[in-house]
Structure 1
């Protein structure tokens, strides 16, 4: 009897937890934290159960040790999140590998690690970058079960050899990274301990950075922050994973993440996270992962309509129409036939003339 009671209790708890999970997936709690420090937290991300889609999207908001609070990805104590976009992009801070010298010896040497797990380090937004005039660097990682390794060399003899904005191997080197990297190890090295360039370039640097956030300058050679750990912005691709593609995910409505007035789509070459993403239908905008998150765009109010000069805009759900002014008829849209004046009805009057003789 005791064993039966335990089993029944276990089953009831399992059903209750499953129901809770479904409820959480259907609609996040109304009192969920919307910001952590400067970061706007967009669902499916959240800071506590009932506020995120699943634990993959957990943001740990640390207000105990930081003021203002600092957001970290999942339970990481080092992976700070600086931006979330609804179209499958995160921006995180990743460490820079440094290899620095003074006149006598090496004074700093650290590798840099970045592990994303369920998400992917963006191959379209990031570049592996090495800075220095006596420098080279390696990036290593795994793609599935395969190992990946590549290097980049940066060389110059004088500061005058270096050009601001150029990253072609003289003072700065950049290469693409492959698709599908979920963890990387980066290390900076020096060929000759910077002995020939020490007066203006004491360090080698290696890192993975979001390309749009980086502009090389000769000032980067000066050894800023020699005794500090440096971080750079790195782009990460995210998606809804673990449910298959759109067709497979749509077959399980209780777990399907795309809500009303939204469409499911599978990431293209611009997103290497796999799985699927959601977007609002044409004529709607907002968060497609929230119930009623995709709101109708009032094209008339926002001036996003194209109506003929003799027509006015009428907003409808997900679209708009153009209606001709009174006294005009036709298709009121600019790309239609336009509005033309109504023709006044012509009354034919027959006159009878009688002739009498």
Structure 2
């Protein structure tokens, strides 16, 4: 008897929806892996480009990798994922002799539908005798960032990098590769009392804290990595081209084709009034606007959910649209005393 009650209770218990393909593992360590990405089995990803490596020497701490770059976050809503990429650096002693250097670094995204986000990332150099160069492999883009100073500069998140102790330059959209390198004019001998190392790196503007990169900083055993945001699309086709091939069209039910800011390829997004993973076959589910936490959907009246929308029914005696307010005086109840 108690088994029947237990089964009934379990059937009523709310089940969290998964953004992974049905039957596929949802997480690698602490990182959620939403479809079109997949791990462990190639069939769990939309195609080979979205199949990621979940591996570790320690089974209790698996790591999600894109190539050899660790992934810390994937967003199917924004069409991005975040990877950790090391900074280039060079260090000298007070006599100007190089003591530690990894002055060249590169990023390559391969042939998949991925690109380095130009809106989220910025190229940054730290140092008082530092020249940093950044180019792409195809030699269609290049820039130099020069950071100089003659006295100690406090690295502050409130002040922009202006070229004194820190400099920054933007990157164009659509890049699939970058390589950056460092050089110095006087081997830091003129500023050796407070600055012996220079750094150059690409970083996500949202997470970058310049205060974490003081002029006194030295390399930290391979831990000098910054978050870099990679944009992705389903494939490099227009929405019209994608919809023409229904068997390969990536958007599920109650979802539609959209274009990213980069203007390259297409993504999918839920239609208004729906939520979920737009890339799954079952697509997006109806959103109950009446139960959105912290939001009052009706200006007045009672909220009633509908498929893809909601209604606000005015109180008895009033009329109009309760979303913006009802008209009339309603029912007035008079209570007479003895």
Query: Does the pair score TM above 0.5?
Result: yes
Q: Contact conserved, 2:108 with 2:177, CA < 8 A, in 1?
A: yes
In structure 1, C-alpha distance between the alignment counterparts of 2:21 and 2:275, rounded to whole Å: 21
In structure 1, C-alpha distance between the alignment counterparts of 2:265 and 2:173, rounded to whole Å: 15
In structure 2, C-alpha distance between the alignment counterparts of 1:50 and 1:157, rounded to whole Å: 58
3-state SS, counterpart of residue 215 of structure 2: helix
**Aligned counterpart, 2:327:** 338
**Aligned counterpart, 1:81:** 71
In structure 2, C-alpha distance between the alignment counterparts of 1:68 and 1:306, rounded to whole Å: 43
Query: What is the CA deviation profile of residues 151-171 of structure 1, one whole-angstrom value per residue up to 9, with x for unaligned ones?
Result: 001111111x44523311111
* Correspondence list, 1:127-142, <5 A: 127-142=122-137
Query: What is the CA deviation profile of residues 85-115 of structure 1, one whole-angstrom value per residue up to 9, with x for unaligned ones?
Result: 1121111111211111123521222211111
1:196 shift after superposition: 1.6
1:102 equivalent to 2:93? Answer yes
Evaluate the alpha carbon distance shift between residue 152 and residue 284 of structure 1 in structure 2; reply closer, same or farther with a 3 A threshold: same
1:341 shift after superposition: 3.7
In structure 1, C-alpha distance between the alignment counterparts of 2:70 and 2:221, rounded to whole Å: 21
**Aligned counterpart, 2:15:** none
Q: Contact conserved, 1:100 with 1:204, CA < 8 A, in 2?
A: yes
Moved over 4 A (4+): none
Q: TM-score, normalised by structure 1?
A: 0.79
Residue among 25, 36, 45 paired with 1:44: 36
Residue among 166, 169, 176 paired with 2:170: 176
**Aligned counterpart, 1:299:** 289
3-state SS, counterpart of residue 179 of structure 2: strand
Q: Contact conserved, 1:89 with 1:235, CA < 8 A, in 2?
A: yes
Q: TM-score, normalised by structure 2?
A: 0.83
Q: Contact conserved, 2:253 with 2:282, CA < 8 A, in 1?
A: yes
1:299 shift after superposition: 1.2
1:80 shift after superposition: 1.0
Query: What is the CA deviation profile of residues 160-219 of structure 1, one whole-angstrom value per residue up to 9, with x for unaligned ones?
Result: x44523311111101111111111111111111111222221111011111111121285
**Aligned counterpart, 1:207:** 201
Evaluate the alpha carbon distance shift between residue 66 and residue 223 of structure 1 in structure 2; reply closer, same or farther with a 3 A threshold: farther
CA-based RMSD of the aligned residues comes to 2.3
1:340 shift after superposition: 4.7
Point out the more displaced range, 180-189 or 57-66.
57-66
In structure 2, C-alpha distance between the alignment counterparts of 1:276 and 1:46, rounded to whole Å: 19
* Correspondence list, 1:139-288, <5 A: 139-142=134-137, 146-159=139-152, 161-165=153-157, 166=159, 167-217=161-211, 220-225=214-219, 228=222, 230-242=224-236, 244-268=237-261, 271=262, 274-288=264-278
Gaps of 5+ in 2: 1-18, 333-338
Query: What is the CA deviation profile of residues 41-99 of structure 1, one whole-angstrom value per residue up to 9, with x for unaligned ones?
Result: 011100122211111111100134664001101xx2x2111110112111111121111
Evaluate the alpha carbon distance shift between residue 226 and residue 71 of structure 1 in structure 2; reply closer, same or farther with a 3 A threshold: closer
Query: What is the CA deviation profile of residues 275-325 of structure 1, one whole-angstrom value per residue up to 9, with x for unaligned ones?
Result: 10111111111110112341211111226454353x211110011112233
3-state SS, counterpart of residue 290 of structure 2: helix
Evaluate the alpha carbon distance shift between residue 218 and residue 182 of structure 1 in structure 2; reply closer, same or farther with a 3 A threshold: closer
Evaluate the alpha carbon distance shift between residue 300 and residue 280 of structure 1 in structure 2; reply closer, same or farther with a 3 A threshold: same
**Aligned counterpart, 1:19:** none
**Aligned counterpart, 2:16:** none
Query: What is the CA deviation profile of residues 224-252 of structure 1, one whole-angstrom value per residue up to 9, with x for unaligned ones?
Result: 3265462110011111114x111110111
1:130 shift after superposition: 0.3
**Aligned counterpart, 2:10:** none
Q: Contact conserved, 2:126 with 2:213, CA < 8 A, in 1?
A: no
Point out the more displaced range, 131-140 or 298-307.
298-307
3-state SS, counterpart of residue 291 of structure 2: helix
Q: How many residues align?
A: 305
In structure 1, C-alpha distance between the alignment counterparts of 2:328 and 2:249, rounded to whole Å: 45
